[in-house]
A and B are shown apart, each in its own frame.
Chain A
Amino acid sequence: MIFKIAWRNIGRNKRRTLLTAASIFFAVFFSCVMTSINRGVFDKMIDDSVTSNVGYIQIHKKGFWDDQVINNAMVYDQQWKQELAAIDKVQTVIPRLQSAAMISFGKITKNVLVTGIDPAAENKLTNISNRVVDGEYLNADDQAVLIGEGLAKKLKATIGDTLILLSQGYRGVNAAQVYPIKGIVSFGVPALSSGMVYMPLAAAQYFYGANNLTTAVVLDVAGKEDVEEVLPPLYAKLDTNNTYEVMAWQEMIPDILNLKQTKDSSNKVVTIILYFIVGFGIFGTILMMTRERQYEFGVLLSIGMKRGQLAASVWIETLLLGLLGAVVGIALAYGLAYYLMVNPIVMQGEMAEAYTKFGMDPVMPASVALDIFWEQALTVLTITTLIALYPAFVIFRLQPVTAMRS
């Protein structure tokens, strides 16, 4: 009965109902789409960053992350690899030996970052073989290197050319060797393109005099949600107090997360302002409705309707008014977000260049994570409930005679 009164009252002033619902629809739709695109862009940015470089979890020798030198390498052997691979949810164990070196070809010398990789394992995470634009990808027993496209241009070197690498190896050993270029890799990020050199792990260990050593072991899992499941057994297995440091993806890409947080905050401010305006719109409607219906409220109380029942009816009416706009807004926003997820907005011009420069595809995908839409429904529910406090307050103070006399 209470619901029936509320529902039918919605239709009493159709124009006002439509206007109010339309303002809610606009706020919900705009907010959903804005959040959805923002989430989609940052999710992609994070995924790109995680899957093309840092991975979801990394293990280092304690102190390596803050002082990334080869002397902070750690022992990595088959037994350890098997133990790590045996942890539930771990899909691939990816060892890396990374250190700086000087690379020289002809009269040109450059500083580079050399990364020794297990070609097969690395490819599972980063799919780097797909980035090879010239030559071939590495095999585990190769004595050759992959270099960035930018570096190849700077060195004026091409496939088959032999490069000289010079560095200081593990604990000060001299590192000097020549390697042919087996492949050239394309990176979107200029710093990577002109500064990265990959070689098989065994070759890198030999070059740096770091047999059985790695500077990082990346653990690949199916997705972010698995990270929390892998960390506890990992902490149990490793002495993280003295020997190792274990880092989840969030700790390794703080810049992106900070940027995301900043963007989220600015979006929240826009959303709050939007809902504030819409909230006042709804409040105006409810205020008018309450004033117009005081007489009716008085009658209903006179004939025996309890104040709580009457207040509940008005609350449901306010809620329905809000949900009417919200449901349509959410439905259409979800549809649009889904479309943009499948067919992301492709950026053009300077914006596209900026994205490419940072190694990202110049696209803006949207996210259809359900929490984005639930959050809006919850916000509307909260706003309407708060607004419904006003008529409830009036109803609980109303004297039927006074109301009917007015």
Chain B
Amino acid sequence: MNIVTVQQAQKTYNPDKIPVHALQGVDLTIEQGEFTALVGPSGSGKTTLLNAIGGLDLLTAGKIIINNQDIATFSDSELIEFRKQNIGFVFQAYNLIPVFTAKENVEFVMLLQGKSEQERDTRVRELLTAVGLADQIDRRPSELSGGQQQRVAVARALASKPQFILADEPTANLDSKSTADLLDIMLELNQKENITFLFSTHDQRVIDRARRVVTLEDGKIISDERVS
């Protein structure tokens, strides 16, 4: 089942001055349960494509259809609501709320969704256990290592039970051990819970474990390989 369809996506920055064509007619389909890596050199359009799929950035032309809905038709507040219900984000710099504990960071999106305390509590413990941080529940981001923070970020992204997770260079700031641990967790969640992951990376350790590798160059897809 397709959950994301990108049709002829084009994105041009500074169209009136010195145009930069970040995306030039990208077509892509993501199916439920995929573990897909977007790869390519810097400036190839990976992050732009992820932002566009996440509704964080608007395309210059083309369409992004999620659950049969063209997200360009959403108003700003509808888009925020759509993101909250359907998409989980993992950022390169973790981006946890510094004044919240690990538990509160994971709980945050569920609070925004209006989930009950009991439901939140159960889900938070389940997720932090899944990412191996059950014993760090009351620590603030400044008290956690980079790898631990990124695992909290993954738990936060999963908390709202989104349709898919978008991760922008999730291992860029992590050492080898933390990278391996994070990938183990993401793959386990993908396989056990059928959660769809789409992430940008140019980290070979991540690429090696992806089941689909989409390569971008100069804003175009130059290869799309599935790994058995």
Contact = CB atoms under 8 A, between A and B. Distances in A.
B154 interface: no
Interface residues of B, number: 26
B95 A304 contact: no
Which DSSP category, helix, strand, loop or mixed, fits chain A's interface?
A: helix
Interface stretch (B31-39, B76-84, B212-220): B76-84
B99 A302 contact: no
B96 to A, nearest CB: 9
A11 interface: yes
Contacts of B83: 302-304
Contact of A299 (B77, B95, B112): B95
Contact of B54 (A295, A296, A302): A302
Contacts, number: 59
Interface stretch (A1-9, A104-112, A248-256, A332-340): A1-9
B91 A300 contact: no
Nearest to B105: A303
B91 A307 contact: no
A11 B99 CA distance: 9
B84 A400 contact: no
Interface string A388-406: 0000000000011100100
Contacts of B57: 399, 401
A154 interface: no
A299 B156 CA distance: 12
B84 A304 contact: yes
B98 A12 contact: yes
B99 A5 contact: yes
A303 B156 contact: yes
A406 to B, nearest CB: 13
A303 B108 contact: yes
B194 interface: no
Interface string A367-406: 0000000000000000000000000000000011100100
B97 A302 contact: no
A214 to B, nearest CB: 74
B111 A8 contact: no
Contacts of A346: none
6 contacts: A1-B112, A295-B95, A296-B98, A299-B95, A399-B57, A400-B56
Interface of B: 51, 54, 56-57, 76-77, 80-81, 83-85, 89, 91, 95, 97-100, 104, 108-109, 111-113, 156, 160
